[in-house]
Amino acid sequence: MQRREYGNTGERLSIIGFGGILVSKVSAAEAGGLVAEAVDRGVNYFDVARSYGYGRAEEVVGQFLKGRRDQCVVATKVGIAPSFPGFVSRVLLPAARQLFDQSAEILGYDLANICFSGPPETLNATNHSQPALFVTSLAALESLKAQSPQVLEDCQAVAGLSLGEYTALVFAGVLEFETALRIVQERGSAMQAAAEAVSSGMVSVLGMELPQLEELIKQQRGPDETLQIANLLCPGNLIVSGDQAACLRLSEAATEAGAMKVLPLAVAGAFHTPIMQPAVDRLAAVLEEISFQPPRIPVIFNVDAQPHEDPQQIRELLVQQVVSPVLWEDSMRYLLNTGIDSFCEIGPGRVLRGLLRRIERKVNCENITC
C-alpha cells in the first residue's frame, strides 16, 4: 500500500488508515480479524479514541498490535463527549464500567455502544432508552460513591421520576442491579410494543395552571380517546399524554389559550395512561416472580407521593405507575416537608434540578452525571 511522509517525523503512514470505532462494535474475534487483515493489506496507521466503546477500541487495537508496535502508528484523542453528558469520563471507573459489562451480558447487546454511538433512533426507542437511563444513572451513583461516599451514607430518602423509580429501588436495597435491569428490559419492551399498537404521544405544556389545562383536556378529548395529565412536574410544567390526534388538538388549544410554550416530546407513545395497559400484564407477570426487600431508607413513589415499605405494595405500585400520572411535584414537597433541604440529581441531564428549583428556589441540588 502506498505510504506518505508524516511531516518531519520520518514516519511513513499508509494513505488509508484504520478507523478504530469499527472494533468497538464487534466481538473480540471479529475485531482481531479486522486488525490483522488491515496489517496484512499494508495499513500501518490506526485511529482510536477513548470514547470509542468507552475505551474498548484502544484496548482491542493495542492487544492485537502487540508485537507489531514498531511497525504501526496508533493515534488516540480525548475530549469527545458521547450522547449522555459526562459519559466517558466516569464510565471508566471500574465499578461503573462493570455495570455496563454486566448489562451487556444480561441484555444481549452492547448498551454502552448504543449510548454513545447510537444511532439516535436506536437509543430513543423505549426498549433501549429505559435500560440506558437505568444503567447510566447507577453508573453516576458509582461516580458519586467514589468522589463523596459520605453523601450516600447520609442520604435520608430517595425518589425517582418514572423509570428512575427503579434506580431508587436499587439504591434503597429493594432490588439487586441484575434483577432490576431484567425488569427494566421487560418494562421497556412491553411499553414499546404498547406504543407501537396505537398512534399516541406526549406534550409538554409550560406556563398554564392545572385547572385550566384540565378543562382544555376535557374539551379536546374525543369519544373513545385517551387524553390526560401524565406528569405533574412542578408549578407551570405539566405533561399531557394520549392519542396523537387528541394531543395535536390540545397543543393548538393550549397555545391559543395563552400557554407560554407547548412542545411535543420525542417519546414512543402515551406513557402513564391507559394506552400502556397492554404493558401492565407483562410487567405484572415479571414482578410477581421477583423477591422484593424492604427499603433501607424511605422511597417516595410516583403514584401517590408517599413512602411505602411493604414489598407487595411496592410491587403493585410499580405496576400502577405504568398507567398512572407521576406526582413528582407532590413527591418533592413531601421530602421538603420532612425537613430535607439538600438533594442530588443522579443521571444524565439537569431536568430534575430545574424542576426542584421551581418548587423551592432556596433548596440546594447538585447534579451528578455519569
Which residues have a catalytic role annotated?
Answer: 162, 272
Dihedral (CA of 227, 231, 237, 239) sign: negative
Max distance between CA atoms of the chain, in angstroms, equals 77
HSE at residue 172, side-chain half, CA atoms within 13 A, is 27
DSSP-H helix ranges across 164-276: 164-171, 177-197, 210-220, 244-256
Cα–Cα nearest to 86, from 51, 43, 34:
51
Cβ-based neighbours of 105, under 8 Å, separated by 6 or more:
none
Backbone dihedral angles phi then psi of residue 73, each to the nearest 5 degrees = -115, 130
Backbone angles phi, psi at 13, to 5 degrees: -105, 145
Element (H, E) at 239: strand 237-243
Taking Cα atoms as reference points, which of 352, 291, 265, 278 lies closest to residue 319? 278
Torsions phi, psi of 57, nearest 5? -60, -45
